[in-house]
C-alpha cells in the first residue's frame, strides 16, 4: 500500500477497498520500522494520526468526504506551524515550541481531509543543503545511508522516497525542495513566489521562502500544490491567481514547447549527469519540443548574491528568538543582556550563528551599500536574465544539482563548497520563478539524478506538463531499504 500514488490511494478509499485507518496504519508501521535509521521525522504521533483517520472514515461512511483526498496521509516539514504539535525548525531554540495556530498551507490540507503523518527533519531554520545542520541529527538518504538526502527539506524528501509518506510539504528558499528531491529520486516542486501563503511558515529569508510539495509522481506533487495554493489575506505577498493545475497533468503537451537550455548550467558536472540530462532534452525534441540554446550570463554571481540577501534577511528574522517570547530560554540568568546572549548562544547551532553574523555584517552601517545594496542590484540583473530568456522560450531545462548526493560529513567543514553546490537552484528563488525537479534515473553508483525545469511566473502548468513528459520516458526509482 505504501508504494502507491495518492491518485491510486484516493481511488481505493473512494471504492471502500481500504479505510483511512488501514492506510494510516500501514504508514505508521513503515515509519516505526525505518525512522530509527533514516531519521526523516522529528515528530511522529500515532494517536493524532489514528484519530484523524477515524474521523475521515466516519465522514466517508456518511457519504460526506471533505474531498477526493480525504484520508490521504501527508508529512509536513517542521518549519510549518501545526497547532498543538511540536514545530521545532530542527533548532534547539524551538525544541519545545508548540504553535497556537496552523500555517495556512497545512490548514488548507486539513480542510480537504489530509491526515497528519508527522513533522519532518530538516536543516536548522532551513539553512543548509544536507540536513546535517539539524538539532535532531542528520537524515540518511534511503538510496544509500552513507549519503545525505539533500536539504534543507531532507526529511520530507527521504520520507517520500522511503515510502514513509506518499506526499509531503517542504519549503524552498534556495533549492530546499528541488535539491533533496533530486538526491532522493522523487518529484519536488517550488511554485512561483506568492503562489502559496507563507503564513505560519517560520521565516528564514522572507523574499525567497516558498512552501511546495514532494510526491512520487508529477501528478501527486501537482495535486498537493493545487490544494495549498491561493491568496491568503494573512500573507500580503500571496497572490490571487487562477490555479490552472492540480488534476491529472496532460503530458502530451510538449509539442511545440520551446525549451531553453543555458550553457552556464552545465559547467563542471560529471559527464554521466550531463549526458543523462542532455539525453532527456533530445528525447523531448523528438517528441515535438523545440530546443533553444540560451544564456543566463549572471549565473556565476547567484551564489554570492543569494548568500548576502538570505543571510541579511535571516539576521533580521531571527532577532525574535530572544528567550522572551519563543521557545528555549537559558537558565540561571542574572542580567537581562545575559538572557539574550546565553539563550541565543545555547539555542542556535553553528550554521545559524554563522549566517546571523554574516547577515548582520552585510547590513551594518558602512557595509550596507557595499554588500547588501550591491546584492540587490545583482538580483535585478539575474531577474533581467530570465526576463530576456522567457521572451524566447516557454521553459528552461537544466540539471537540478551539480552532482548526485554527496557523503555524510563530506562538506560540513567547508561551508563555501557547500554554498557553491546550490548554484543551479538559487536563481529561481532570486527571480521568484517556479521550478520542479524530476527523477531521471540513477548514476553508475546507484544514486538518483534529477532534472530541473524552470518556468516563467505562474507558469506552473507548463513546467508540470514538461515534467510529466520527462517522467513518462524515465524509470521510476525506488530504494531497496
Angle of CA points 127, 132, 135, to nearest 5°: 80
Distance (Å, whole) CA 130 – CA 137: 11
Of 180 and 347, which has the nearer Cβ to ligand GLN? 180
Q: Write down the catalytic residue from 4, 7, 77, 462.
A: 77
> Judged by CB under 6 A, which of 129, 217, 299, 398 binds ligand GLN?
129
Q: Write down the catalytic residue from 19, 129, 153, 176.
A: 176
Cα–Cα distances in angstroms (integers) from residue 382 to residues 153, 243, 295, in the given order: 25, 27, 11
Question: Do residues 403 and 421 touch, judged by C-beta distance below 8 A?
Answer: yes
Q: H-helix or E-strand containing 55?
A: helix 46-61
Question: Is residue 176 within the footprint of ligand GLN (CB under 6 A)?
Answer: yes
Question: Is residue 132 within the footprint of ligand GLN (CB under 6 A)?
Answer: no
Residue carrying the nine cell digits 513503515 = 30
Question: Is residue 127 within the footprint of ligand GLN (CB under 6 A)?
Answer: yes
Question: Is residue 173 within the footprint of ligand GLN (CB under 6 A)?
Answer: yes
> 293: exposed, middle or buried (C-beta count within 10 Å: 0-12, 13-18, 19+)?
exposed
52: preceding bond cis by omega (within 30 degrees): no
CA atoms within 13 A on the CB side of 291: 16
Question: Do residues 419 and 355 touch, judged by C-beta distance below 8 A?
Answer: no
**257-276 exposure pattern, b = at least 16 Cβ within 10 A, e = fewer:** bebbbbebbbeebeeebeeb
Of 20 and 177, which has the nearer Cβ to ligand GLN? 177
Q: Is residue 413 annotated as a catalytic residue, yes or no?
A: no
Question: Is residue 126 within the footprint of ligand GLN (CB under 6 A)?
Answer: yes
> Judged by CB under 6 A, which of 118, 128, 138, 347 binds ligand GLN?
128
Q: Which stretch binds ligand GLN (CB under 6 A): 103-111, 172-180, 334-342, 458-466?
A: 172-180
Question: Is residue 70 within the footprint of ligand GLN (CB under 6 A)?
Answer: no
CB of 173 to ligand GLN, least distance (A): 4
Question: Is residue 152 within the footprint of ligand GLN (CB under 6 A)?
Answer: yes
**Residue 415-434 contact track with ligand GLN, rule CB under 6 A, x = bound:** -------x------------
Q: Is residue 238 annotated as a catalytic residue, yes or no?
A: no
Question: Do residues 264 and 297 touch, judged by C-beta distance below 8 A?
Answer: yes
Q: Is residue 17 annotated as a catalytic residue, yes or no?
A: no
Is 339 strand, coil or helix?
A: helix
CB of 126 to ligand GLN, least distance (A): 4
Is 75 strand, coil or helix?
A: strand
Question: Is residue 201 within the footprint of ligand GLN (CB under 6 A)?
Answer: no
> Residues near 245 by Cβ (< 8 Å), separated by ≥ 6?
222, 225, 226, 460, 461, 464
CB of 106 to ligand GLN, least distance (A): 18
Angle of CA points 156, 158, 160, to nearest 5°: 70
CB of 117 to ligand GLN, least distance (A): 21
The number of residues that bind ligand GLN (CB under 6 A) is 13
Of 122 and 254, which has the nearer Cβ to ligand GLN? 122
193 alpha carbon, distance to own chain's centre = 13
Nine-digit cell string for 167: 506526499
> Judged by CB under 6 A, which of 92, 163, 175, 349 binds ligand GLN?
175
Question: Is residue 191 within the footprint of ligand GLN (CB under 6 A)?
Answer: no
Helix/strand/coil percentages in the chain, nearest 5: 40, 15, 45
Question: Is residue 120 within the footprint of ligand GLN (CB under 6 A)?
Answer: no
CB of 188 to ligand GLN, least distance (A): 11
**Residue 271-310 contact track with ligand GLN, rule CB under 6 A, x = bound:** ---------------------------------------x
Of 56 and 129, which has the nearer Cβ to ligand GLN? 129
Q: What is the CA radius of gyration of the chain?
A: 21
CB of 361 to ligand GLN, least distance (A): 17
CB of 305 to ligand GLN, least distance (A): 12
> Judged by CB under 6 A, which of 113, 138, 166, 174 binds ligand GLN?
174
Is 83 strand, coil or helix?
A: coil
Q: Which stretch binds ligand GLN (CB under 6 A): 174-182, 325-333, 337-345, 441-449?
A: 174-182
Question: Is residue 78 within the footprint of ligand GLN (CB under 6 A)?
Answer: no
User: Known catalytic residues?
Assistant: 77, 152, 176
Residues that bind ligand GLN (CB under 6 A): 126-129, 152, 172-176, 204, 310, 422
Amino acid at each position: 500500500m505504501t508504494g502507491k500514488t495518492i491518485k491510486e490511494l484516493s481511488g481505493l478509499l473512494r471504492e471502500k477497498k481500504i479505510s483511512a485507518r488501514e492506510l494510516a496504519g500501514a504508514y505508521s508501521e513503515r515509519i516505526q520500522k525505518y525512522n530509527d535509521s533514516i531519521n526523516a521525522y522529528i515528530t511522529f504521533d500515532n494517536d493524532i494520526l489514528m484519530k484523524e483517520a477515524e474521523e475521515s472514515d466516519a465522514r466517508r461512511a456518511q457519504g460526506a468526504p471533505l474531498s477526493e483526498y480525504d484520508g490521504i496521509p501527508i508529512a509536513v516539514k517542521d518549519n510549518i506551524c501545526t497547532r498543538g504539535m511540536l514545530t521545532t525548525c530542527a533548532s534547539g531554540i524551538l525544541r519545545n515550541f508548540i504553535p497556537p495556530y496552523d500555517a495556512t498551507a497545512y490548514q488548507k490540507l486539513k480542510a480537504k481531509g489530509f491526515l497528519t503523518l508527522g513533522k519532518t527533519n530538516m536543516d536548522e531554520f532551513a539553512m543548509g543543503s544536507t540536513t546535517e545542520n539539524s538539532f535532531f541529527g542528520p537524515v540518511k538518504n534511503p538510496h544509500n545511508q552513507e549519503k545525505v538526502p539533500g536539504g534543507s527539506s531532507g526529511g520530507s524528501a527521504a520520507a517520500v522516497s522511503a515510502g514513509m509518506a506518499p506526499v509531503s510539504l517542504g519549503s524552498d528558499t534556495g533549492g530546499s525542495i528541488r535539491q533533496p528531491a533530486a538526491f532522493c529520486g522523487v518529484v519536488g516542486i517550488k511554485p512561483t513566489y506568492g503562489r502559496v501563503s507563507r503564513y505560519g511558515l517560520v521565516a528564514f529569508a522572507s523574499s525567497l521562502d516558498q512552501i511546495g510539495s514532494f510526491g512520487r509522481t508529477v501528478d501527486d506533487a501537482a495535486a498537493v500544490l493545487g490544494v495549498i495554493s491561493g491568496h491568503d489575506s494573512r500573507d500580503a505577498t500571496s497572490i490571487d491567481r487562477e490555479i490552472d493545475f492540480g488534476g491529472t497533468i496532460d503530458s502530451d503537451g510538449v509539442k511545440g514547447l520551446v525549451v531553453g537550455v543555458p550553457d552556464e548550467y552545465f559547467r563542471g558536472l560529471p559527464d554521466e549527469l550531463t549526458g543523462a540530462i542532455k539525453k532527456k532534452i533530445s528525447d523531448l525534441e523528438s517528441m515535438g519540443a523545440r530546443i533553444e540554446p540560451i544564456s543566463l550570463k549572471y549565473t556565476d554571481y547567484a551564489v554570492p548574491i543569494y548568500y548576502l540577501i538570505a543571510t541579511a534577511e535571516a539576521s533580521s528574522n531571527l532577532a525574535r528568538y530572544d528567550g522572551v517570547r519563543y521557545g528555549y530560554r537559558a537558565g540561571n540568568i542574572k542580567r537581562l543582556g545575559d538572557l539574550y546572549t546565553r539563550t541565543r548562544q545555547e539555542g542556535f547551532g553553528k550554521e545559524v550563528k554563522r549566517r546571523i553574523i554574516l547577515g548582520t555584517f552585510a547590513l551594518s552601517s558602512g557595509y550596507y551599500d557595499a554588500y547588501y545594496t550591491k546584492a540587490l542590484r545583482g538580483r535585478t540583473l539575474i531577474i533581467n536574465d530570465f526576463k530576456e530568456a522567457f521572451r524566447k522560450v516557454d521553459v528552461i531545462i537544466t540539471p537540478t544539482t551539480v552532482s548526485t548526493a554527496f557523503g555524510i560529513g563530506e562538506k560540513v567543514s567547508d561551508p563555501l563548497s557547500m554554498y557553491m553546490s546550490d548554484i543551479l537552484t538559487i536563481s529561481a528563488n532570486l527571480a521568484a520563478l517556479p521550478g520542479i525537479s524530476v527523477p531521471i534515473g540513477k548514476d553508475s553508483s546507484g544514486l538518483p539524478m534529477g532534472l530541473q525545469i524552470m518556468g516563467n511566473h505562474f507558469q506552473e502548468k507548463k513546467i508540470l506538463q514538461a515534467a510529466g513528459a520527462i517522467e513518462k520516458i524515465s524509470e521510476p526509482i525506488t530504494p531497496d531499504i
